[in-house]
Structure 1
Amino acid sequence: MQRSLFTIIIALYSTATFAQRQKAISPDLFGIFFEDISYSADGGLYAELIQNRSFEYTGSDHKGWHPMTAWEYTPRGYAYGKLSVETKSPLNENNTHYVVLDIQDVGQEGLGLTNYGFNGIPVKEGEQYDVSLFAALLAGNAIPVTVSIRNRKGDIYGETTFDVTNKNWQQYAAGITVNKSDDSACLVIIAKGTGKLAIDQVSLFPKKTFKDRTNGMRPDLSQAIADLHPKFMRFPGGCLVHGDGIANIYNWKNTIGPLEARVDQRNIWNYHQSAGLGYFEYFQFCEDIGAKPVPILAAGVSCQNSGGTWVIGSTGQKGIPMADMQAYIQDVLDLVEYANGPATSVWGAKRAAAGHPEPFHLQYLGIGNEDKMTPDFEARFTMIYNAVKAKHPEITVIGTAGPSSEGEDYEKGWAIVNKLKVPVVDEHYYNEPEWFLKNNQRYDKYDRKKAKVYIGEYASRGNKFINAISEATYMTSLERNGDVVHMASYAPLLAKKGNTNWNPDLIYFDNTGVYPTVNYYVQQLFSSNSGDVYISDVVTFDRKKDSTLAASVVKDSKTGDVIVKLVNAGATDAKVNVNLKALGALQPKAQVILLKEEGGVPVSVETEFTKSSLTLDALSMQVIRLHKK
């Protein structure tokens, strides 16, 4: 039967109005922000199990620390000798401390040292662990050395032995398979011959790392991050980037190359960073989880809170001397070459030598991190931005608008960005849940002709359900304004229990467990159910009457799916209207994911979805995925 002219006109009208209600939104909207804070790297995501592996800890890292922190002198079976930390003949100029064992009597068992890891070394029965160390024979004949994984009582779970004969530094490596699981094992190195033995760069890695990478990441923690399905990953910070004073500014070049030659340094969060998780590993991890890399570099100035003055607006900021700025700018340009240059280029060759001849496809580069907007900052940021723009116009530079959602630095940061026509600006804010509810329309009013926004750090100051649900209401506004809000990432991402520098966090963990928060599940629901097209006027309710309700509707052009997100942050149930006809021809069955305070984890069901009016439970979020016919 032929369709009537009236029916055709109505169909064409519906198609036209549907198209008018759509707008493209950023395909990179929801990502993650990794900062080495709260032991997120060493003792966390980075799978190394030895703490202070190169004896470089100092009291400036943390009060009371020293080169033997996490280590213990271990004479066994009446062995006699002494241990010293020396710097006379180091492994290299970047790794200056090493241990010397002066073994005068091996006794019954030998003499050595023990490492207790990061409050214990977790091992699993039947798993293999790769152990390595550098050693040099300073005096005596060949010295047999046994490396074992044991419990605190001394019971051996697995071991390996080698002879040290070389008077020069030499690396020794082997695999140890353990015969018992233990959450708090230790690594014991025992010399069984008289003489002098130098030891440095001791390492113990699980054979099974994420994606089986050498020098890789902890699998369970990595998988929790990968399960967020982030579109991008910002790294390595944060305040970590611009550091505590000029000397502490994060230098990406110090974090690549052989592990034993990388430059350890004090972490601004009052501990130590080994640089084992360096720029190569960051880029590789981004690739492994399908996230675009977003490295952040200092804008030529240190953190305004340098020197321990952690108050917003502090003036501890110092600028790199202008005489040194061209060298610093070259470091920035070299990073782009390291990421994207051919394997025949100077820095591309270093990437290839590390095992990745193909480029990492760097698209974004952040310059600065919630800095104090001083003349020193503006001058140096301008120099860096102009240099990158001239040499690499293909790179999208991200500027910064200070540490808050408003105020003097925010206004000045935006003024600098507007003057230079920087394409993206990084906004940061940590506020109470009420702020997120009241500011749902913040980006409705932004000028679409100016810089796009990257909300690089945000959170509602808590891990309770009301915090997560208020963030969910706000994230619907980010989708609605996905034409101007280009990227967003909750912060911080990780925190180790018992070692937190900042709360709240998205994922907590200890040596053996991973504990996602309800905020994590909200982030996951949005990122896993994202779209590239926003559809307006589908869900209606009285926002002026009830600011605790929020909704967004997006379309995934690749699958044709339409995703409806509904959030009720109120204390009572609420009704919303859904104009299903506005969405076109869709299958009646839909996947519905419900997140409620009771239970605290998403629950998914498949159900008929044909109603135009819905009741939303108090303090709840729904994600409804509708499939095209």
Structure 2
Amino acid sequence: MKKLTRLLALAATVALATPVVAQTAAGGKPISPDLFGIFFEDINYAADGGLYAELVQNRSFEYAPGDHDGWNPLTSWEFLREGFATGSLSVESAAPLHADNPHYVQLRVETPFQKGAGLRNVGFDGIPLKAGEKYDFSVWARLKSSAAVPLLVQLRDPKGAVLAETTLSAQAGEWQQLRATLAPSATEAAASLAVLATGKGVVDLDMLSLFPQKTFRNRPNGLRADLAQTIADLHPKFIRFPGGCLAHGDGLDNLYDWKKTVGPVEQRKGQRNIWNYHQTAGLGYFEYFQFCEDIGAKPLPVVAAGVSCQNSGGTWKIGGTGQQCVPIADMQAYTQDVLDLVEYANGPVSSPWGAKRAAAGHPKPFGLTYIGIGNEDKQTPEFRERFKLLYDAMRRQHPEITIIGTVGPGPKGEDYDQGWAFANQLNVPMVDEHYYETPRWFMTNNKRYDRYDRSKAKVYVGEYASWGNTLYHALAEAAYMTALERNGDVVQLASYAPLLAKEGHTQWKTDLIYFTNTTVAPSVNYQVQQLFGQNQGDTYHAGVVTLPTGATADTTVAASCVRDAKSGDIILKLVNTVATPQLFSIDLTRFAGLKTAAARTVLTGPKDATNTFTSPRTVMPKATAYKAAKRFTYTAAPYSLTVLRVPGRR
């Protein structure tokens, strides 16, 4: 009997390794090829001081008390009078560089005494510099006096030692941009930028900027390289931007206006961020589209549905609704703004907005296929009226674009029910569901989408997380993600939120990637998202994995099997959320042409383990070779996610 068992096992192994002429998909249910992506919002200082590589804070002197308590146009700036120099500094707004950038500083130097007078910027918690690398400095200057005024530009360490310097010359006349490249002699995590006028005169200064040349893909006005690469390593199929609540803003005057975020940076209009700080719009729609293209992700912009956030004015604190509405008389113009966005992304260079994209250096269309209208909006009659105006116009002029509606901030409730009813009434092709819940909720709702009506709107799970950055939280999310794969015919897109959080500057916890000026700390949740992102499929295959005897899929274990048509690989994901090993049975007999030499990646550790700045980052995926067979069992370690990738043929 033992001999017969060995012979059968050998035969199965040989058969598994035998090549075939054509790979059969063995049935399987087609699922969304864009299932796992990312959600970017400028929360937790994700943009300025984060992903956007600008190193100077408040570079155009536009900070205001309304942005953040105690802020003003000179926040993060210091007036310098070196040696015995005399002079003064003031913030002015007469004849600015651009009307959307109204403030600048006027520097009056009476007696420079060689060292001069000027100002110093401390960046976002300091300016991080690396020895030998190059940094591009620029400033817009306007000289009121007739004689040229030298401008000494320095990078300094915290003790004032000069790490790099150069001298520029401000000439008499109107606004002019001056540029220089600096290479610091030492690495410094908390440097500062100093600009000193060393000659007598009156000079206006605006848009003082310092960028590392080594941005992501070396893009000008680009992204912080290490942070952008960490995002790219998730292999997202799409990027949602510019956010959730940020998109519809804190009142009508705070709606995110995409048109004010494109074009030369000195002409973009910054504004108060709904998360209680200032956003420069240096990271704008062009940069978002370009980042999507750079990492092979589809763009998914979200625009306000003609209404502001219902929590505008802090009304969430008293349970009221602060939803403000674009007047109906103005909705035609607002609708045209949304249509212009599609033209900016996809229009030919001969079109007005396609020409603006080309002028920014990208004549080729960006290939926009998705657009979201609204975010978690209160389902008021005013919202529905404005949404329908936008939706109808988009359907008429751009039927090729998939429109994504909104069904409130939670997985149930009045806005959820009314939002779904409204979406079904209009035949909206996809709706955006959000939920932040406990690990237990994610485990017990594993079958949520099994029950959804396939004939109605598809689903984008636009924001979800389990309120924690421990391994257990991440595994609960992983178990739920196997259900998203199983229901990838109805769930078309999914993205964890929020994406980024700067240490010491967070408005929301928990988050996917934590960072400082010099370091990046992906959470355990990130490791799960990355494993799913790097192992996506386009067909789901039921019945391949049998759960352990007695295990309850909703509370302890979960599994999925997908096939990647591009490689022909079969990808198994096995999740164990309990403290004991669990035995999964796997049957691959339906697939022809598979190989035995599989790849195994395991993420495991103590239940409460975290990958944070304060805890050792020990919970990391470990990859090893694994020998598969037509049929085999696999013992999943306690508290683990296992990904088995069995090579196949296309």
- State the one-letter code of the partner of 1:156: V
Match of 2:644 among 616, 619, 624: 624
Match of 1:613 among 630, 633, 641: 633
Q: How does 1:281-430 map to 2 (within 5 A)?
A: 281-310=287-316, 314-430=320-436
**Inter-partner Cα distance in structure 2 for 1:151 and 1:349:** 44
Listed one character per residue, the Cα deviations across residues 96-139 of structure 1 (whole Å, up to 9, x for unaligned) are 11101111111241100000000100000001100000011113
Q: CA deviation at 1:309?
A: 2.4
**Inter-partner Cα distance in structure 2 for 1:69 and 1:491:** 30
**Inter-partner Cα distance in structure 2 for 1:194 and 1:228:** 54
**Inter-partner Cα distance in structure 1 for 2:415 and 2:330:** 26
Q: How does 1:390-539 map to 2 (within 5 A)?
A: 390-539=396-545
**Inter-partner Cα distance in structure 2 for 1:439 and 1:83:** 60
Q: CA deviation at 1:409?
A: 0.3
User: TM-score under structure 1 normalisation?
Assistant: 0.96
**Inter-partner Cα distance in structure 1 for 2:554 and 2:157:** 59
Gap runs ≥5 in structure 2: 1-15, 17-23, 607-617
Listed one character per residue, the Cα deviations across residues 264-315 of structure 1 (whole Å, up to 9, x for unaligned) are 1000000000000000000000000110000000000000010012359640
Aligned position for 2:6: none
**Inter-partner Cα distance in structure 1 for 2:402 and 2:208:** 40
Are the structure 2 counterparts of residues 180 and 480 from structure 1 closer, same or farther at C-alpha, using a change threshold of 3 Å? same
**Inter-partner Cα distance in structure 1 for 2:332 and 2:425:** 22
Q: How does 1:100-249 map to 2 (within 5 A)?
A: 100-249=106-255
**Inter-partner Cα distance in structure 2 for 1:131 and 1:545:** 57
Farther off after superposition, 314-323 or 237-246: 314-323
**Inter-partner Cα distance in structure 1 for 2:435 and 2:31:** 22
Aligned position for 1:15: none
Are the structure 2 counterparts of residues 619 and 101 from structure 1 closer, same or farther at C-alpha, using a change threshold of 3 Å? same
User: TM-score under structure 2 normalisation?
Assistant: 0.93
Farther off after superposition, 175-184 or 147-156: 147-156
Contact 1:21–1:536 (8 Å) recurs in 2: no
**Inter-partner Cα distance in structure 2 for 1:393 and 1:178:** 53
Q: CA deviation at 1:612?
A: 1.9
Q: CA deviation at 1:390?
A: 0.3
Contact 2:143–2:171 (8 Å) recurs in 1: yes
Aligned position for 2:623: 604
Contact 1:136–1:170 (8 Å) recurs in 2: yes
Match of 2:600 among 589, 592, 595: 592
Aligned CA RMSD, in angstroms, stands at 1.5
**Inter-partner Cα distance in structure 1 for 2:435 and 2:127:** 37
- State the one-letter code of the partner of 2:526: Y
Q: CA deviation at 1:526?
A: 0.5
**Inter-partner Cα distance in structure 2 for 1:516 and 1:336:** 34
**Inter-partner Cα distance in structure 2 for 1:205 and 1:416:** 47
- The alignment status of 1:67 with 2:76, answered yes or no, reads no
Aligned position for 1:3: none
Listed one character per residue, the Cα deviations across residues 124-160 of structure 1 (whole Å, up to 9, x for unaligned) are 0001100000011113521111111111222111111
Q: CA deviation at 1:617?
A: 1.4
Farther off after superposition, 134-143 or 481-490: 134-143
Aligned position for 2:104: 98
Contact 2:475–2:639 (8 Å) recurs in 1: yes
- State the one-letter code of the partner of 2:578: G
Match of 2:576 among 568, 571, 575: 568
Contact 1:21–1:537 (8 Å) recurs in 2: no
**Inter-partner Cα distance in structure 1 for 2:306 and 2:453:** 29
Contact 1:57–1:66 (8 Å) recurs in 2: yes
Q: CA deviation at 1:574?
A: 1.5
Contact 1:87–1:97 (8 Å) recurs in 2: yes
Aligned position for 2:614: none
- State the one-letter code of the partner of 1:621: L
**Inter-partner Cα distance in structure 2 for 1:312 and 1:382:** 29
Q: CA deviation at 1:607?
A: 2.0
Q: CA deviation at 1:167?
A: 2.3
Are the structure 2 counterparts of residues 540 and 162 from structure 1 closer, same or farther at C-alpha, using a change threshold of 3 Å? same
Match of 1:583 among 575, 587, 591: 591
Contact 1:313–1:372 (8 Å) recurs in 2: no
- State the one-letter code of the partner of 1:592: R
Are the structure 2 counterparts of residues 20 and 458 from structure 1 closer, same or farther at C-alpha, using a change threshold of 3 Å? same
**Inter-partner Cα distance in structure 1 for 2:322 and 2:434:** 20
SS of alignment partner, residue 647 of structure 2: strand
- State the one-letter code of the partner of 1:560: G
Farther off after superposition, 534-543 or 383-392: 534-543
Q: CA deviation at 1:166?
A: 2.4
- State the one-letter code of the partner of 1:285: F
SS of alignment partner, residue 393 of structure 2: helix
**Inter-partner Cα distance in structure 1 for 2:444 and 2:237:** 27
Aligned position for 2:7: none
- The alignment status of 1:24 with 2:30, answered yes or no, reads yes
Match of 1:38 among 44, 50, 62: 44
**Inter-partner Cα distance in structure 2 for 1:601 and 1:244:** 39
**Inter-partner Cα distance in structure 1 for 2:544 and 2:158:** 62
Q: Percent identity?
A: 58
SS of alignment partner, residue 587 of structure 1: coil
**Inter-partner Cα distance in structure 1 for 2:98 and 2:279:** 18
**Inter-partner Cα distance in structure 1 for 2:587 and 2:555:** 21
Match of 1:57 among 39, 56, 63: 63
Aligned position for 1:551: 559
Q: CA deviation at 1:74?
A: 0.5
Listed one character per residue, the Cα deviations across residues 532-571 of structure 1 (whole Å, up to 9, x for unaligned) are 0111101112554762110000000111100010000112
Listed one character per residue, the Cα deviations across residues 59-78 of structure 1 (whole Å, up to 9, x for unaligned) are 00000000000000000011
Are the structure 2 counterparts of residues 433 and 325 from structure 1 closer, same or farther at C-alpha, using a change threshold of 3 Å? same
Contact 2:445–2:554 (8 Å) recurs in 1: no
- The alignment status of 1:276 with 2:275, answered yes or no, reads no
- State the one-letter code of the partner of 2:48: D
**Inter-partner Cα distance in structure 2 for 1:56 and 1:38:** 20
Are the structure 2 counterparts of residues 563 and 494 from structure 1 closer, same or farther at C-alpha, using a change threshold of 3 Å? same
SS of alignment partner, residue 521 of structure 2: strand
Question: How many aligned residue pairs are there?
Answer: 614
SS of alignment partner, residue 310 of structure 1: helix
- State the one-letter code of the partner of 1:558: K
SS of alignment partner, residue 502 of structure 1: coil
**Inter-partner Cα distance in structure 1 for 2:55 and 2:26:** 56
**Inter-partner Cα distance in structure 1 for 2:192 and 2:452:** 56
Listed one character per residue, the Cα deviations across residues 149-197 of structure 1 (whole Å, up to 9, x for unaligned) are 1112221111111111122111101111111110000000000111111
**Inter-partner Cα distance in structure 2 for 1:533 and 1:313:** 44
**Inter-partner Cα distance in structure 2 for 1:420 and 1:163:** 62
Contact 1:539–1:576 (8 Å) recurs in 2: yes
SS of alignment partner, residue 295 of structure 1: strand
